[in-house]
Chains A and B, each alone.
Chain A
Amino acid sequence: MRYKITHRTGYNYSAPASLSQNELFLRPRETVFQKVIESHLTITPEPQYQHSRTDYFGNSVDVFMVQHPHNELAVTATSLIETTVPITPIPGGTASWEDVAGRLALHNQPDDLLACQFVFASPMVTVGSGALSYAGPSFLSGTPVLVGAVDLMRRIFTEYLYDKTASNVETTVDMVLINRKGVCQDFAHLAISCLRSLGLAARYVSGYLETIPPPGKPKLVGSDASHAWVSLFIPDCGWVDFDPTNNQLANERYITLAWGRDYGDVAPVKGVVMGGGSHRLSVTVDVAAKNI
């Protein structure tokens, strides 16, 4: 599929902000199943300082600073992307989770070592006994690793309530486990915590999902959103993406922006502003399918 993505983030400040610095993870990365045809960034007011780099996980990062007083700030990222159907191994045919965890513990293959950085707790994904015992029923002894992950995904989908009001940027895995509700990043963090508690490598993927309008209704522009899901490392196969919020393995309608250990590594827009009083944030995302 070919998609044109427009992601606009706007800040309105109640008082002039004198200085604003921001870090953007808004440029989609190339993957085996995703080609980036073009990608643009428009920032108003024009920044006095701009810098791009590739981060430790291979994501493209843009840093910019607006250094004079401003009342609003808008960042628009537009990208043209082509996705193909991801090749996913048959769950029943994957190695047992114990074998996978064992290989990661040894990490004597370069790919296994690279995956190792997603095995341990990270600032926003704690790994504790709560996650381990929640993961237990999905990962009985000898369970093929992807069968276990799919079952874990199904359980999170059925046992947790999607609730926008239940979550904020500080929500921890333990709070999600107790409250049993949250949004996509909470479910992703929970799944990652469960997988890591077993010694598996799981990373957080930030991106978009093309939404399909209800039958007979036209698709509304801007109705899409940022999305987040999980990627699991299966030795000799690679990384397999799955989405606990929607209970499905990723398909060609999933567009990857960036990945990291958790949300904190790849938040689409984060920043620090001096002054500005209180701010109002507005985000619109449009994922439009293009005919080739």
Chain B
Amino acid sequence: MIETVRNEPLILNSTSIPLFNSLVFPAGSYSETYSAPFVPRAHWLQLLSAFEAIGAVELKKYHERAKQMRHEDGATINPFDDPSQRTTSWDLDLVPLTISAAEWGEIEGGLIERATLLEKVLADLYGPQHLLKSGQLPAELVFANPNFLNCCHNIEPPANRFLTFYTADLYRAEDGRFRVFRDYASNPGGLGYALENRIVMSRLFSDLYHKTQILRLAPFFQSFQHAIIGRSALVEEDPGIVLLSPGPDSPIYFEHALLSRYLGYPLVEAQDLTVRNGKVFLKKLDGLEPVEAIFRHISDLNSDPFALRRATGSGVAGLVQVCRENNIDVVNPIGSGFVDTPALPVFLPSLARHLLGKDLKLQNHPAWWCGSKEQLAYVHANLGQLTLSSAFDRHTAIDQSCDQGALINTSPASYMASAPIRPAAVPVWDHRGAGCSYSMLRVFVCATAEGFTVMPGGLAIIAADIETLASNCPERQQSKDIWVLSEKPVETFSLMEAYQSVGEFKRSSDLPSRVADHLLWLGRYLERAEGLIRLLRSIFRRISGEDRPEDIPELMFLLQILQARNIVAAPQNDGRETPQFKELHSSLNNALYQRSQGDSVVSILNQVQQAARKVRDRLSTDSFRIINHLEDLAVSPSYDPLEFLDETLFALSAFSGLAMESMTRSLGWRFMDMGRRIERAVNQIKLISIALPQVLSNSRNTLEALLEVSDSTMTYRSRYRSAFQLAPVLDLLLADENNPKSLAFQFSRLADHVEHMPRQSERRFAYSEERIALKMLTAVRLLDLAGVQYGEENTQNESLVSFLQSMSAYLKEFAQEVTGHYLTRIPATPHFTMINNDLPL
């Protein structure tokens, strides 16, 4: 129970004008905007009048635009792949939270002071432990606390900085003063969302944003970057800094990708890193590259399975050992999660007097630790008004219905209690119009050579009720941009250039094997989707006309392709009869929309999207927008199949075009294109193999359909200007290296790609994939189609069949070799000796 004061419903009124004046803010909460009813605070005047000037009608459009922008940027990606729950983390609200220069100055000073204190506590805890020995820090808070990692004791972090990135949640109490609700060091979220909110807001309210003196965020990121470089002996031109993310399963993966692109640090997952000779390396296609600093977005306990947690596979085995050797700057140092200990703030006031010689400017949210006798007595006496929680772990839930007094007594030191929180109220603007919510500020502080610097702004977290606000689930909360007003003109510079450019990093070969693998599969899925859509489109075009299915001779051929790919079931009869119109329709509809069917259009689009999400930091913002648009198409497909197919094909072509255009011709591009070529070649061989018996029995319609699904009709017409004939069609589809859809073209691209792969051996054709590519290319170049004729009994015809078979086998082998050579990720297994061979005496 968080709320004891009655939580009055927030009154909404969207029709009255002016916009926010009619809002009734909850009693007992500080109102950020108004000093009294209808009397706005001075630092809100400019914003409020700007909003009035825009007006309710326009604001509705702004709201839609903001949603659209965030969606296009990928911030609304649903992490759980459940289309029914399109929840997004920290949805953006239009009304920024404005803070005056004077008030921000106080917050800033208070945060720097607190970060300084917390860093001193960490330095002592992981060093001499005077605070523990003198009783300033209770023994329980250290020894019973899973956030204290004894394996990190005596590790000296670079430049002796124990806290390099500090995050806090602040709320404004009824008296108008800010208080600290939570401290974070281990793995705070929100930095990327704060940045995204600023990007969207400054675009959306570009006029207002540039007229108002709002402190910019970019200088903070620059300080962060300079500090990392300053601490380590990094080369400024080409620093080995990576951003370590848990991967796309994280609900806030979007922010990892955004920060990675904005800061220019490669986005890596733990499996991309390896430890050798006491140093960390990034596993790339062309070998190992040293890493000097890690901006980690994984928690302490997930950092190193070797040193910290035996069972989990996550983390970089040996990372703590590298820290011991002082060979890496981890932001924050592993073990700093001690700062997250919920009961720690209880001791900060006395620690501040002891270590800083003064009282803290920013007060804590009132809380009591049950490990102390006096505080325990207070908690017992006031249990009804307090919220009980774990003293050590923010995520441990306490059954609020049990006998709490008895629960505390089982282990008093493990519990704490806090007063109800009464955060400030702010106006919001959402799809219903004006409203009001409770708010909290997530603020970010980073270490600099001189001490600390605070990001001027941050993420205002808001929620309609206090319980949601105090919870830790971004999916249920919304957010605002924080505008810190400046009395002086603001410096305007940005790191946006780096953000806008394509997601290939400075180092051209900067490609982890994992990313290459995903890019290869993205290429394959894209091609697979395109191929299937072309095929289905040809079918739908035919059956949506006047003709009965049995009057369309090539329909059998087209359906056979679908059957060969297991997309529609093989007919009950021997396949000679055309299926009934009705059953045809239902199975084709399944081929389009059936989500559970692995090869339907919708599920291939889903695979495209998943693969794209895994490499989103490698794709340009524009191409990722198309991926998000594809998601919309797949989630709510148009009911007219042809329309759906056309739209999707259009989006796919746009994506391919953009991806090809905007990706530099680097390794990443090569892997994606290689995937595409492999898939297209496989598909082409299949198409021709299925068509061959029919075209040889002189079915011109099949020949025409074959050209059509191979997307080569136009090329044929422009080249031959004649009726469809067997030999020219086969030549165009198989051997014509100038036709981008021909087998020969795919083979020649593959040969080119493997030649440009990173290599240890200088000798050409040293690798088997090179040899296979050459074999395929030579075979298709030597292919003699002159003797292929109508009629089934013909040696030339037979040799074409066996050619197709052997190419199919080669392709399979080729794909395996490439995967084996460049992409194999070897699983790691922990091992332990067991003491189970001892004998009792």
Contact assessment for A49 and B278 in the assembled complex, using a CB-CB cutoff below 8 Å:
yes
Contact: B835 with A227, CB < 8 Å? yes
The 8 A CB mask of A1-26 against B (1 = contact, 0 = none) is 00000000101000000110101000
B823-841 contacts to A, CB under 8 A, are: 826-841
B310 to chain A: closest residue by CB: A264
Residue A191 lies at the interface, judged by CB distance under 8 Å to chain B: no
- Majority-rule SS of B interface residues: loop
Instruction: Mark A209-231 against chain B: 1 for CB-CB distance below 8 A, else 0.
Output: 10110000000000001111000
Q: How far, in whole Å, are A276 and B831 apart by their CA atoms in the complex?
A: 11
Q: Which residues of chain A in 93-124 are interfacial with respect to chain B, using CB atoms and an 8 Å cutoff?
A: 107-108, 110, 113, 116-117, 119-121
Known A-B contacts A56-B151, A63-B321; A272 and B305 likewise in contact (beta carbons under 8 Å):
yes
A270-B305 Cα distance, complex, nearest whole Å = 11
The range of chain B's interface size is: 35 or more
Output the least CB separation between A203 and chain B (Å).
Answer: 12
Q: Which residues of A contact B826 (CB under 8 A)?
A: 18, 274-275
Partner among B317, B827, B832 whose Cβ is within 8 Å of the Cβ of A267: B832
- With a 10 A CB-CB cut-off, give which of A21, A121, A170, A246 has the most chain B CB atoms: A21
Q: Bound state CA distance, A56 and B318, in angstroms?
A: 17
Question: How many residues of chain A get a CB closer than 8 Å to chain B's CBs?
Answer: 60
Complex CA gap A125/B132 in Å reads: 23
Distance of A56 Cα from B828 Cα, bound (Å):
27
Contact, CB under 8 Å: B832 / A184: no
**A53 partner, pick from B140, B276, B324, beta carbons under 8 A:** B324
> Is B764's CB within 8 Å of the partner chain A?
no
A273 to B277, CA, bound (A): 15
CA distance A120 to B411 in the complex (A): 10
B840 touches A272 (CB 8 A): no
Is B492 at the interface (CB under 8 A from chain A)? Answer: no
Q: Is the CB of B139 within 8 A of A113?
A: yes
Q: Is A117 touching B306 in the complex (CB atoms < 8 A)? A: no
Name the A residues within 8 Å of B840 (CB-CB): 162, 245-246
Interface 1/0 per residue, B132-166 and A, CB below 8 Å: 11010001101110000011010000000000000
B715 within 8 A of A: no
Which residues of chain B are near A85, meaning CB under 8 Å? none
Q: Which residues in chain B, 274-288, are within 8 Å of chain A measured between CB atoms?
A: 274-278
Please tell me if the beta carbons of B277 and A11 are within 8 angstroms of each other in the complex: no
> Is A155 on the interface with B (CB-CB < 8 A)?
no
The smallest C-beta distance from A150 to any residue of chain B, in angstroms, reads 17
- Cβ of A279 < 8 Å from any Cβ of B? yes
Cα distance, A283 to B347, chains bound together (Å) = 49
How near does chain A come to B582, taking the closest CB pair, in angstroms? 54
CA separation between A9 and B758, bound complex, in Å? 39
Residue of B nearest to A24 (CB): B833
A245, B838: Cβ atoms under 8 Å? yes
What's the Cα separation between A170 and B144 when bound, in Å? Answer: 21
Verify if A55 is at the interface (C-beta below 8 Å from B). Answer: yes
Say which residue of B142, B318, B837 sits within 8 Å of A21 (CB atoms).
Answer: B318
Beyond contacts A164-B836, A169-B832: 13 other A-B pairs, Cβ-Cβ < 8 A, are: A9-B833, A56-B150, A57-B150, A63-B321, A65-B275, A119-B144, A164-B837, A245-B838, A269-B832, A272-B830, A273-B828, A273-B831, A281-B833
B interface with A by C-beta (< 8 Å): 132-133, 135, 139-140, 142-144, 150-151, 153, 274-278, 305-306, 310-311, 317-318, 321, 324-325, 410, 826-841
Instruction: Report 17 cross-chain contacts, Cβ distance below 8 Å, ordered by A residue.
Output: A21-B306, A51-B278, A56-B153, A63-B321, A113-B132, A113-B139, A117-B142, A117-B143, A167-B836, A183-B835, A209-B838, A212-B841, A245-B840, A246-B841, A269-B832, A272-B305, A272-B830
A interface with B by C-beta (< 8 Å) = 9, 11, 18-19, 21, 23, 48-49, 51, 53, 55-57, 63, 65, 67, 107-108, 110, 113, 116-117, 119-121, 129, 162, 164, 167-170, 183-185, 206, 209, 211-212, 225-228, 245-246, 263-264, 267-276, 279, 281, 283
